[in-house]
Structure 1
């Protein structure tokens, strides 16, 4: 693959549409091509904006809840067959069925009352998670869409690609990462503001996603850069390991 071909791969790279060989060749090319580095960063940010504008991250437990509930839902009886059966039953039969239906309903309500409460709580928790994801997405989108948003992209220690977007007007920063390995069991990636060499906690990343956009918690407040470390689950007050990523904010 020649250099001319590599210049055309910025869009595919931003969308993770390259093969492993193409990705390796293009990332090697990025080290010597400032134009492609800048274009790839801008396209990556744009792709994240579009994704945030059109999607909502579902709760992790939603799929399991749906599959579990499917097994307990009866299939509707065809209306035609139901009509034939009703036509063939007499008044006494209908009255008996009504009594049985009423009794069954009362029994079911008593037996399933606890289940209904549990399901209501589960649904409420799921809705809360979706709303939180929506609000987080809106805050990230506000930073990415800010007129004064500035970006910087760099290769990380594990081969991942990181882009930091900073908006002075929003006083916020967003870290966009692609191809990041999952942290070890019981560990989490923690974000930090770099305040002139002093690291200030800025939230935790999603341990289940290698590609993500994370809003740093708190204001930029004059920080010169950001870092990412591996910390015990739940995070730490101060870094306890060497940074896996350390990036200066764009001017």
Structure 2
């Protein structure tokens, strides 16, 4: 389980924990009277501290603004002189206007189709995100959930939560900074001494939450720094190496 889970009380009250740590601490609260009391006291203190962070506008502010509006002269709209075009020119203008209307209609149809595709893409992305979140929640709600965490070399932490009943796990990576030299973080599991690529982060990306199938059958979950695009085998040394037991 998470080392010294009692120390998460302050971060838990400030919502500064990730989903895995929140699930572990929620379970811990049901068993620890001391942490329940500490959480209650910290929440009360947070409410009191937040009470002085806003102020009421001065009573005369609205009246002063309205008074300035009344004293400030508003510029009248410019009167445009009517322009009468010759008959031939008027016909040409009508034809051009009609062409503009038709072109605008065509452009409007194309814009609608592009926007409609964007909406469908956004809906598909949202559905995929919801499905992934439901899988995460399902794993975190498992009665046999095991949670482990480890500091990441270079700053940050890696947390894994896995369930043998679900035959899956969740890894959460939160780094203080990306690897140097344009390198990226890459996730791995190790099955029977064979490393398996579990995902490569983008250049500059410092956090990820990912579901990994068959995590309980692995011996390790690791993180390395690799060239952009990832590697076929891990580059030593591991930045984090969490054991599955």
TM-score class, shorter-chain normalisation, is 0.5 to 0.7
2:8 to 10, 22, 36: 10
Residue 224 of structure 1: how far off its partner (Å): 1.1
Shift in Å, 1:8: 6.8
Q: How does 1:85-234 map to 2 (within 5 A)?
A: 106-184=102-180, 186-205=182-201, 210-216=206-212, 218-220=213-215, 222-234=217-229
How far apart are residue 204 of structure 1 and its match? 3.2
Per the alignment, residue 53 of structure 1 pairs with: none
Counterpart contact for 1:41–1:163, Cα < 8 Å: no
Structure 2 matches for 1:15-26, cutoff 5 A?
A: none
Q: Which runs of 5+ in 1 are unaligned?
A: 1-5, 19-38, 47-101
Q: Distance in 1 between matches of 2:178 and 2:241?
A: 18
For the 8 Å contact 1:176–1:213, the answer to whether it is kept is yes
Number of equivalences: 171
Instruction: Kindly name which structure, 1 or 2, has the bigger radius of gyration based on alpha carbons.
Output: 2
1:91 is aligned to: none
* Deviation digits for residues 102-142 of structure 1 (CA, Å, limit 9, x no counterpart): 99865432122222222222222222222221111111111
Q: Give the gaps of 5 or more residues in structure 2.
A: 29-97
Q: Give the TM-score taking structure 2 as reference length.
A: 0.56
Deviation per CA, 1:81-113: give whole Å up to 9, x if none.
xxxxxxxxxxxxxxxxxxxxx998654321222
Q: Does the Cα contact within 8 Å between 2:169 and 2:216 map onto a contact in 1?
A: no
After superposition, the CA RMSD in angstroms is 3.6
> How far apart, CA to CA, are the structure 2 residues paired with 1:141 and 1:40?
12
Secondary structure class of the residue paired with 1:239: coil
TM-score, normalization by structure 1:
0.55
Q: How far apart, CA to CA, are the structure 2 residues paired with 1:233 and 1:200?
A: 18
